[in-house]
Structure 1
Amino acid sequence: MKTFAPKPADLTHDWYIVDASDMVLGRLASQVADLLRGKNKPTFAPHADSGNYVVVINAAKIALTGDKTDKVLYTHSGRPGGLRRDSYGELLKNNPERIIYTAVKGMLPKNRLSRTQLTRLRVFAGEEHPHTPQKPVPFEVGRISQQAK
């Protein structure tokens, strides 16, 4: 028996839509990271770009457990004095897309392939998104936590 190695002609990029309302951030981000890498496909190979497009809606309704509303997300612009501190509570009101994007980015491997796969992530704060012509398939994330309803 030979080992299966996917060829570029074998790779397809499907579209999925995930509803983030009342989902715990970490559990949602791990499922989205698996979809972006293509780990749900039988033809998955770590070196091949078999990932999917993922549209996350209702990012403003994400559930943060514990004291994460006080947790601070740091970014640096690269310029002197360019350190930026934003608490998750502020980001949940002003820019909830950044919370999910950063969580998913942290769960992907740190290489060129993951940077390509991260470009397939689309996050929206509300219900509306411009990707209806692609006909994304709804992906149901299992609610494992007791705190999410």
Structure 2
Amino acid sequence: MKTFMQKPKDVKRKWHLVDADGKILGRVATKIAGILRGKTKAEYTPHVDMGDEVVVINAAKIRVTGKKLTAKKYQTYSGYPGGQKSFSLEHMLSKKPEEVIKHAVKGMLPHNSLGRQILKRLKVYGQSEHPHAAQNPQELKI
């Protein structure tokens, strides 16, 4: 008996909707990362991008535990002298709440070209409106 290997052309993708309102950041991110990789499917193959599409709404209302709002820092560097900037989680949630969830999920995906390809199927929105109603995403309970 041969080991089954899923081919990229045979992948069937579903659409999932995750409401992040009141949910804890890390717990939501781990579930999303598993769905994006395709680990919830019986025919999971590690080297094939076979995960589903995920739409996250209410990203601005996500929760964190402890003192992470002030203690957790996000850093960017432009490459120029004096170009390093640091932002707290509280600041990021007020300015760009979508980036907080994307950053958390990105850290849980493979750090290679497959991970970058997988991350393109994550759509995050700060409010409850999203433009993917035509795809009929199924609500996912987390």
List runs of 5+ in structure 1 lacking aligned partners. Answer: 142-149
The one-character-per-residue Cα deviations of 1:28-55 (angstroms, maximum 9, x if unpaired) are 1000000110111111100011011110
Distance 2:21 2:103 in 1: 17
Aligned length: 141
Structure 1 residue 12 displacement after superposition: 1.8
> What is the identity, as a one-letter code, of the residue corresponding to 2:17?
I
State the distance in 2 between where 1:6 and 1:25 align: 31
Moved more, 110-119 or 8-17: 8-17
Match of 1:10 in 2: 10
- Cα deviation digits, residues 7-46 of structure 1 (max 9, x gap): 2232122111100011111011000000110111111100
Aligned position for 1:60: 60
| TM-score (ref. length: structure 2) | 0.94
**TM-score (ref. length: structure 1):** 0.90
Report matched runs for 1:27-42 at 5 Å.
27-42=27-42
Alignment partner of 2:68: what SS?
coil
Give the equivalent residue in structure 1 for 2:103. 102
- In the alignment, what sits opposite 1:124? 125
> What displacement does 1:98 show?
0.9
Measured in 2, the distance between the counterparts of 1:12 and 1:68 equals 38
The amino acid across from 2:64 in the alignment is L
Structure 2: how far apart are the matches of 1:83 and 1:49? Answer: 34
Deviation at 1:78, TM superposition (A): 3.0
SS at match of 2:94: helix
Q: Which runs of 4+ in 1 moved over 3 A?
A: none
In the TM superposition, residue 72 of structure 1 has moved relative to its aligned partner by 1.0
Q: Which residue of 1 aligns with 2:84?
A: 83
Q: Deviations over 1:47-95 (max 9, x none)?
A: 0110111100000110110111112111223333322211111111111
Instruction: For residue 123 of structure 1, report the CA deviation from its aligned partner.
Output: 0.5
1: CA distance, partners of 2:126 / 2:53? 17
Give 5+ residue unaligned stretches, structure 2: none
Paired position in structure 2 for 1:51? 51
For 2:128, the aligned partner's letter is E
